[in-house]
Amino acid sequence: MTGRSGVRARRDERGLAVSVFVLAILAALVATAGLVIDGGQKVTAASQAEAAADGAARAAANAAATQRLAGRDGAGAGVLAAKAYLAGQPNVKGSVRLAGGVVRVDASATAPTIFLSAIGVGEVTGTGSATASVVPTGRER
């Protein structure tokens, strides 16, 4: 197309460069928000796993101490109490070990992702562990 002066009219391309820049910034902001939100999900899962491990270790120590006060071996009761506690926690899996009067609980919890699910990561996992000593009771002191 030619104008009155016989020179071909040029298309204005100034807005195109700004549009590409805005799209790049928008993509970076969405990615950052995704990392922050899904990172928060991972922290929540780790906190949940740590709390479950703490509670299970406490339950094991309490059950073992109660059995020992009654004059029985508390090891089996402690392990069962810890496993029962873990079984009652949603999205938490774990293991319980008792050795040398010390109960060790390892737990892991999962939380769903929000933004990372778009790239195939459906959940994040957090871990926690706790120990509790089975303290001598009654005449054992």
Distance CA 97, CA 108 (A): 15
Domain span including residue 82: 7-133
**53 located within any domain:** yes
Of 10-14, 18-22, 85-89, 96-100, give the lowest mean pLDDT range: 10-14
Q: Where are the beta strands (DSSP E) in 1-141?
A: 92-99, 102-112, 123-133
Q: Look at residue 66 in the predicted model and tell me its pLDDT.
A: 85
Q: What angle in degrees, to the nearest 10, is found between the helix axes of 14-69 and 75-87?
A: 150
**56 located within any domain:** yes
Give the CATH number, domain containing residue 98.
Answer: 3.30.1300
**74 located within any domain:** yes
Coil, strand or helix: which one is 8? strand
Structure tokens at 2: 């030619």
Candidates 74, 76, 96, 72; CA nearest to 85 is 96
**138 located within any domain:** no
**140 located within any domain:** no
Tens digit of each residue's pLDDT (9 = 90 or more) over 55-64: 999 999 889 8
DSSP state of 50: H
Coil, strand or helix: which one is 120? coil
Looking at mean pLDDT, say which of 42-46, 69-73, 77-81, 133-137 comes out highest: 42-46
DSSP state of 6: S
Distance CA 33, CA 38 (A): 8
**58 located within any domain:** yes
**139 located within any domain:** no
**98 located within any domain:** yes
User: How many domains does the structure of the chain reveal?
Assistant: 1
Type of residue at 28: A
Tens digit of each residue's pLDDT (9 = 90 or more) over 64-120: 888 877 778 777 888 999 999 999 999 899 999 988 878 899 999 999 998 888 888
